[in-house]
Every structure is written in C-alpha cells, then in structure tokens.
Structure 1
Amino acid sequence: MNESEKRIMGLISSSGESRAKAFEALQAVRTHNYESAHKLLEESQKLDIDAHNVQTKMIQEELGGNKIEVNLLMAHAQDHYMTAQLSRDLIEELIKIFESRDMEE
C-alpha cells in the first residue's frame, strides 16, 4: 500500500468512526442519556475534523501540483466522509429535538 492509499484509508477510517459515534449518540437518546449523547457527538466531531484535515491536505497538495489519482478507493473515501458529516449533522438536530421535547414534559 503506497502513502496515498494509506492516507485515503485513514480518511475512510476516521469517517467511519465518526459516523459510528454519531449513531451511538442517537442510541443514548433512547434511554434519555443526553450527557452521553453530547459527549459522543463531540467525539464524532473530532474524528470528522481528523478526516477533514486529511482531505484538506490532499487538496492542497493537488493544488500545489501533486496530482492525486482519483480511483474507486478515493471515491469510496469521499462517500464515507460525506455520509459521516450528514449523519452527524442530522443526528445532532434529532438529539436537540428529543432533548427539548423531554424538557417540556
């Protein structure tokens, strides 16, 4: 595995972990454990930042003349990254809705 593939795998790994933490946060809401849900969302966001940093570095390198090969692995990594971001954003909003509803009761 070359260096570029290792970075792409890092992007996939961070994104997948980010998405998993977001869904764990949503599961915590089932038991009304909002403290845990918020902590898991913070962990998800940190992992998302790790993925973002990998992606940004690769973009900067390409802008600097180091052409990045776009292949199925890279497409897969971008898919994971976008899905993780969307999942976290949506789950964060769902948690806010459930939390506010529980406060009203």
Structure 2
Amino acid sequence: MEEDENLQAIMGLIVNGGNAKSSSMEAIQAAKKGDFDEADAKLKEADAALGEAHNSQTGMLTKEASGDHVKVTLLMVHGQDHLMNAITFRDLAGEVVDVYKKLANA
C-alpha cells in the first residue's frame, strides 16, 4: 500500500507539473495575441496546478522527515524534475506576460 501512495504522489508531481507548464505556455500565447484576461487566467491555472503538485511533494517530504524513508526511483526523480521545470517556466511566463502588457500600453 505504501508503494501505491508513493506512486500516487509521484504521479501528482508529473501530472500537475505538466499541467502547470502547459497553462504557463498558454498564458504566453494569449498575451502574445493581446488577450491579457486569458493570460492572467492561465497563470492562475498554472498556480493552482503547482499548488497541487506542491501538496504531493510536501506529503513525501513529511514522510521522509518523520523517518519513513522511501526508495528514490528514477520515476521520483522524473517527477521532481517536472515540478522544478514547471515552477521555473511559470515564473518566466509571468515575466513574459508582463512584458507583453507593457508593450501593449506603450
């Protein structure tokens, strides 16, 4: 059962990280077209997905901190990689959307 819980948490990282990155990219595309309401909505979607991924990660970290050590697998590393890339991409997308907004108001 514990292995299933770990797999579920890892998949939470992968799925939600991927969703956050996709929403961030959609935000950039919307801003590029001048649709800033849509861009802002997509950034909020990305933030929500990152929140879900963070919850999965926190669950694993809490177990680890309480002495319940888990075997590190390639899938777990992949999930963490997805999350970190999604966070970086979301941050960058916010900056790109801001630049498009400034250009539109210039």
When normalised by structure 1's length, the TM-score is 0.94
Which whole-Å CA distance do the structure 1 matches of 2:13 and 2:35 have between them? 30
Counterpart residue identity of residue 89, structure 1:
D
Are 1:83 and 2:101 matched, yes or no? no
RMSD: 1.0
Residue 23 (structure 1) shift: 0.3
Which whole-Å CA distance do the structure 1 matches of 2:66 and 2:32 have between them? 48
Counterpart residue identity of residue 4, structure 1:
N
When normalised by structure 2's length, the TM-score is 0.94
Mapped contact 2:31–2:39 kept (Cα < 8 A): yes
Residue 2 (structure 1) shift: 2.0
SS at match of 1:2: helix
Between Structure 1 and Structure 2, how many residues are aligned? 104
Task: After TM superposition, list the pairs within 5 Å mapping 1:1-105 onto structure 2.
Answer: 2-104=4-106
Which whole-Å CA distance do the structure 2 matches of 1:16 and 1:69 have between them? 23
Which whole-Å CA distance do the structure 1 matches of 2:21 and 2:29 have between them? 13
